Amino acid sequence: MKVILAADVHHLGRMGDLVEVANGYARNFLLPKNLATTATLKNVRALEHQKRVISDQIRKEVRSAEGLASKLGGLTLSLEATVGEEGKLFGSISSKDISEALAAQGFEIEKRQVLLEKPIKEAGAHHVSIKIRHDVNVELKIDVVAKAEEQ
């Protein structure tokens, strides 16, 4: 019996796959648990339509992410921090600080998208990777400068 998987099934296939299974396996396991639907002509056409719609949506998201990546790629972010002896920071600059600085410049980047191995604890130039989508990353240059002292 041919069925269309409605969810990922271990050792059988991924969601949306058209697979051939034994009649009893389909009737007694896959169909009652809503893991699959029968592969009628109507269901196959609906699946093909859904795949086209999803692929168009993914293409739009990738184009948007690449546009944002090109804008961020040429950007140098300057952050001020209190600096002590030998260029060491009092505290550190975290992914949250970077995402807030980007938000101030009009970029909506969440702190979990900032791939920072460890917090920045020294003044100077640093490179940080930003994960816009799972397949679109960009390298952002960050300059950490000493805060101007108030008098």
Tokens of 58: 């993914």
**Residue range 14-55, pLDDT digits in tens:** 888 899 999 999 999 999 999 999 999 999 999 899 889 988
The tally of domains found in the chain comes to: 2
pTM of the model: 0.67
Q: Are residues 103 and 115 in the same domain?
A: yes
Q: Are residues 62 and 97 in the same domain?
A: no
Q: Are residues 104 and 58 in the same domain?
A: no
**By CB neighbour count within 10 A (0-12 exposed, 13-18 middle, 19+ buried), where does 3 fall?**
buried
The reply to whether 151 falls in a domain is no
Q: Are residues 56 and 81 in the same domain?
A: no
Kindly state the average pLDDT of the residues 101-120.
90
Instruction: Specify whether the backbone of 69 is left (phi greater than 0), alpha (psi in -120 to 50) or beta.
Output: alpha
Q: Are 148 and 81 in contact (CB under 8 A)?
A: no
Domain containing residue 23: CATH number: 3.40.5.10
